[in-house]
Amino acid sequence: MTAIAIQAPQLRMTPRGRRALAAFVAAPILALGALGALQATTALAGQQAADVSYETVVVQPGETLWSIAEVVAPDVDPREVIADIQRINGVGGAIQPGQQLAIPAEYTR
């Protein structure tokens, strides 16, 4: 009886297979990095929000964000104040009379 040598088939990776394997390995690493960055950003934002105090302004008829910015912070560029007011209050360009807006206390001092 003669022994027959059986060879195992060789595994060949195509370029597409290499890209898929690289993506499969890199995806969890990138996800963990993004999660860590998100947690760091959230912690920093929470710390900054805790350090800022606000005062409330009630919008009067005829007032605009620009006019409010000029009154509460006459020495600061109104565009900076408007951007902060919009970001804090989640408003676009339109405000309504009677609406309450949070203004960072740093501007009202």
**45-93: pLDDT as tens digits:** 655 555 678 889 999 999 999 999 999 999 999 999 999 999 999 888 7
Instruction: Tell me the whole-structure pTM to 2 decimals.
Output: 0.52
pLDDT of residue 100: 92
Residues 24 and 65 in one domain: no
Residues 24 and 42 in one domain: yes
pLDDT of residue 24: 84
Cβ-Cβ contacts under 8 Å for 101 (sequence gap 6 or more)? 56, 57, 58, 59, 68, 85, 89, 91, 95
pLDDT of residue 49: 55
Work out the number of other CB atoms within 10 angstroms of the CB of residue 20.
12
Host domain of residue 68: 52-109
Burial of 22 (0-12, 13-18, 19+ CB in 10 A): exposed
Q: Is the pLDDT of residue 43 over 80?
A: no
Cα of 86 vs its chain's centroid, Å: 15
Residues 83 and 32 in one domain: no
**How many domains are contained in the chain?**
2
Task: Supply the mean pLDDT for the chain.
Answer: 83
Q: Are 56 and 100 in contact (CB under 8 A)?
A: yes
Phi/psi for 103 (5° steps) reads: -120, 130
